[in-house]
Chains A and B, each alone.
Chain A
Amino acid sequence: MRPLLVTGYSMLSALGMGRQQHLSALASGTTGLGPSPIPLGFDTATGTVTVELPELPKPMQAWSTRLARMAAALLEEIDEPLRRAREKWRPERIAILLGTSTAGAETTEVAYRAYVEGGKFPPDYDFQRQHTFGAVLTVVRKLTGCTGPSWMASTACTSSGKTFATAQRLIAAGVIDAAIVGGLDTLCTMTLQGFHSLQALDRTACRPFRKTRNGISIGEGGSFALVEREGDARVLIEGIGETSDAYHISAPHPKGLGAQAAMRQALATANRQPEDIDHVNAHGTGTHLNDTAEANAIKIVLGTDVPCVSTKAYTGHTLGAAAALEMAFSACAIEEGFLPPAIGDGEIDPKIDVNIPTEKTTGTFQRVLSNSFAFGGNNVSLLVGAP
């Protein structure tokens, strides 16, 4: 496939806002996970965004939610490349392709609780402007002036990974010249209770690939990237794999067959070989099943030497935002020349037969495979390369 040029990207997570805060935490092995700020009736760690989010302009107050303000923060971080793109491309040729799993659920669950308890919704609650998938698209459109095709991908934990693939195809098809891609999600009670019902949450910070791993830590945040037909690329999306397990709605295939297929497809579309991959940003949620299946898939496709790190031990699993955020971390590895240490309590599971470096690794990293797998058996692998 024709590589997709990433000319700018932003990051927001429990590690902070922007490049420096993320690099600092990743380099020092400092997790952003901590106790859940949402009362739940059980213990779990979450990756909570604690930085102050910008307010939306006054005329857009009806759209102002935590999710929309996260979008505004992420746009501020790519303001400069976006300004250049708007000078280069017509606004109707710049698409807005984002991913989310929760959309405005955080706002609706608060409003719905008020409705149940008091018989009416809060006066400022507006489902269409604050909850729907289109609500954040409207905010991004208004804040950027970009008027190209816009939609949300919502394939659970692969949502934001899908947006890179769509942008690549639409640019190849001549429909657009550039796109704001990526994704964002907020913490909400419903998600935490839902994963608790599946017995999928760790009581403490998640421990991907560790012997004592015991589940996910949910996080919030996002990452936006500006991708263009031509320009000064910081990194390239060289290859993309999109597959389905066709196995189970919420459990991965035990041998990671869908994951294997996604990684192989990413390699094939980039015209690369397994030995070309210098690092894997693993999906690595910290559940027994997922980590075992993914490690098996990595071993079969790439062998046992390539260093694999799950940055979910830093940010938590940011669900619909995870693929884009981890693409950004993959880009950081290429641009900064280091891999964050794989953190988490306990020893690495000896049954996980891939290379999990527990110390910071410095070096030259030309190509990184970033994996994301989701409910519905949906798989995305992005092959991120140096320009």
Chain B
Amino acid sequence: MSLRVAVTGLGMFMPGFPNATAWAEKNELPVDDPRKPGGLAFDRVNRRRASQMGRAIGDCVAEAMASAGVDGQTTPVIVGSSIGEANAMLGLLDKMWREHEPMSPAVFTVSVHNAASGLLSISMKNKGYTTSIAADYDTPAATLFEGLGLLATGTDAVVCVCADEASPRSLLEQAPHWDMLSAALVLQPEGAANALAHLTIDDCGDDRENITIAPAELAVGFANSPQAGMMDLLDAIQRGESGKLVLDRGTGRGYRVTLTSAR
């Protein structure tokens, strides 16, 4: 069992629901809306450089930081993504193998897994810690563990954001397709005054019997995302749930959050 921490801010983006407020109110955008992320946390130059996933991360981080009241210049950001900038990689492969043209250096530099976290640190002028991690369907759990580690060693607040672009169909022919999804939490020490909820995390393995919190009602494309567990957690916090929630939908190793609402 991990140490107990407070959740003080939420942020999210998925096509149709541009932020956590819209999700809480089930206020879906009309189908003719472009449904693209704005990249709110980025400055103009870096917003242009960021991928769609990067911009979704930017929206989540901006919303979560604002709701928690933490400073973008000093708050560490952990970006979790299972396949990262895979679509940028496919673009580079097409340049090499299909078009036989030189690579664009600008595209190459933002094809790295930490492109979004790097662009965020530049935009927010954050000269401290940032990281990018990946653990397939356990990415939400890994992101929270990384955050807990920071809090346990003296950090005041940390943003944990999980995101994946829509799955690249050519590479994942056999796997269920997923759509772009991004969700963020701000974690702070247990005693934080503005807590929305408190959580601990542990490994329940195959023992999923005592899971008491239902996952979010997501359309199948979002439910298939490796980051669906982070969305489930955000949704449970918004609903004021207390109990146990598993951070994957049967596709991961079974990390479980014990959640206590602070409402």
Contact call B127/A258, Cβ cutoff below 8 A: yes
Contact of A151 among B2, B98, B138 (CB under 8 A): B138
Contact call B136/A376, Cβ cutoff below 8 A: no
In the assembled complex, the CB of B91 is this many whole angstroms from the nearest CB of chain A, namely 11
Given A137-B135, A244-B130, A249 and B109 contact (CB-CB distance below 8 Å): yes
A152 sits at the interface (CB 8 A): yes
Contact call A154/B148, Cβ cutoff below 8 A: no
Contact call B97/A174, Cβ cutoff below 8 A: no
B122 sits at the interface (CB 8 A): yes
Given A173-B152, A197-B102, A244 and B121 contact (CB-CB distance below 8 Å): yes
CA gap between A170 and B141 in the complex, in Å: 13
Closest A-B pairs by Cβ, 10 of them: A376-B118, A134-B136, A169-B149, A173-B152, A154-B113, A133-B134, A194-B108, A151-B142, A151-B135, A244-B121
Listed by A's residue number, 10 A-B pairs whose Cβ atoms lie within 8 Å are: A134-B134, A151-B133, A155-B130, A166-B146, A169-B150, A194-B103, A244-B126, A244-B130, A375-B115, A376-B130
The count of residues in chain A whose C-beta lies closer than 8 Å to any C-beta of chain B is 64
A residues 213-253 near B (Cβ < 8 Å) are 242-250
Contact call A132/B122, Cβ cutoff below 8 A: no
Contact call A173/B2, Cβ cutoff below 8 A: yes
Encoded as 1 (CB less than 8 Å from any A CB) or 0, chain B from 74 to 116 comes to 0000000011100001101110111000111100111111110
Contact of A162 among B109, B126, B131 (CB under 8 A): B131
Can you name the residue of chain B whose Cβ is closest to the Cβ of A137?
A: B135
B residues with a Cβ closer than 8 A to A are 2-3, 46, 49, 82-84, 89-90, 92-94, 96-98, 102-105, 108-115, 117-119, 121-122, 124-139, 141-142, 145-146, 148-153, 170-173, 175, 203, 255
A residues 110-160 near B (Cβ < 8 Å) are 112-113, 115-117, 121, 127-128, 131-134, 137, 147, 149-156
CA gap between A155 and B255 in the complex, in Å: 24
Contact call A376/B142, Cβ cutoff below 8 A: no
Contact of B108 among A92, A115, A198 (CB under 8 A): A198
CA gap between A351 and B12 in the complex, in Å: 49
Contact call A193/B96, Cβ cutoff below 8 A: yes
- Total residue contacts A-B, CB cutoff 8 A: 202
Can you name the residue of chain A whose Cβ is closest to the Cβ of B136?
A: A134
Contact of A377 among B90, B121, B138 (CB under 8 A): B121
Contact call A154/B132, Cβ cutoff below 8 A: yes
Contact call A132/B113, Cβ cutoff below 8 A: no
Can you name the residue of chain B whose Cβ is closest to the Cβ of A153?
A: B133
Contact of A154 among B94, B133, B153 (CB under 8 A): B133
Can you name the residue of chain B whose Cβ is closest to the Cβ of A127?
A: B171
A residues with a Cβ closer than 8 A to B are 1, 92, 101, 103, 105, 108-109, 112-113, 115-117, 121, 127-128, 131-134, 137, 147, 149-156, 162, 166, 168-170, 172-175, 189-190, 193-199, 242-250, 257-258, 261, 374-378
Given A101-B112, A166-B146, A175-B2, A244 and B127 contact (CB-CB distance below 8 Å): yes
Contact of B203 among A92, A116, A197 (CB under 8 A): A92
- A247 cross-chain contacts in B, Cβ below 8 A: 122
Can you name the residue of chain B whose Cβ is closest to the Cβ of A132?
A: B136
In the assembled complex, the CB of A240 is this many whole angstroms from the nearest CB of chain B, namely 10
Contact call B121/A376, Cβ cutoff below 8 A: yes
Contact call A150/B135, Cβ cutoff below 8 A: yes
- A168 cross-chain contacts in B, Cβ below 8 A: 153
CA gap between A151 and B81 in the complex, in Å: 11
Contact of B112 among A92, A156, A248 (CB under 8 A): A156
Contact call A149/B145, Cβ cutoff below 8 A: yes
Given A154-B114, A249-B110, A173 and B148 contact (CB-CB distance below 8 Å): yes
Contact call A173/B114, Cβ cutoff below 8 A: no
Besides the contacts A109-B97, A152-B134, A153-B131, what 12 more A-B pairs have beta carbons closer than 8 Å? A113-B93, A116-B97, A154-B112, A194-B111, A198-B105, A243-B129, A244-B118, A244-B126, A249-B122, A375-B115, A378-B117, A378-B131
CA gap between A247 and B49 in the complex, in Å: 14
Contact call A154/B84, Cβ cutoff below 8 A: yes
Contact call B102/A244, Cβ cutoff below 8 A: no
- A149 cross-chain contacts in B, Cβ below 8 A: 141-142, 145, 203, 255
In the assembled complex, the CB of B126 is this many whole angstroms from the nearest CB of chain A, namely 6
Contact call A376/B117, Cβ cutoff below 8 A: yes
Contact call A377/B122, Cβ cutoff below 8 A: yes
- B97 cross-chain contacts in A, Cβ below 8 A: 109, 112-113, 116-117
Contact of B114 among A156, A166, A246 (CB under 8 A): A156
Can you name the residue of chain A whose Cβ is closest to the Cβ of B149?
A: A169
- A175 cross-chain contacts in B, Cβ below 8 A: 2, 145, 148-149
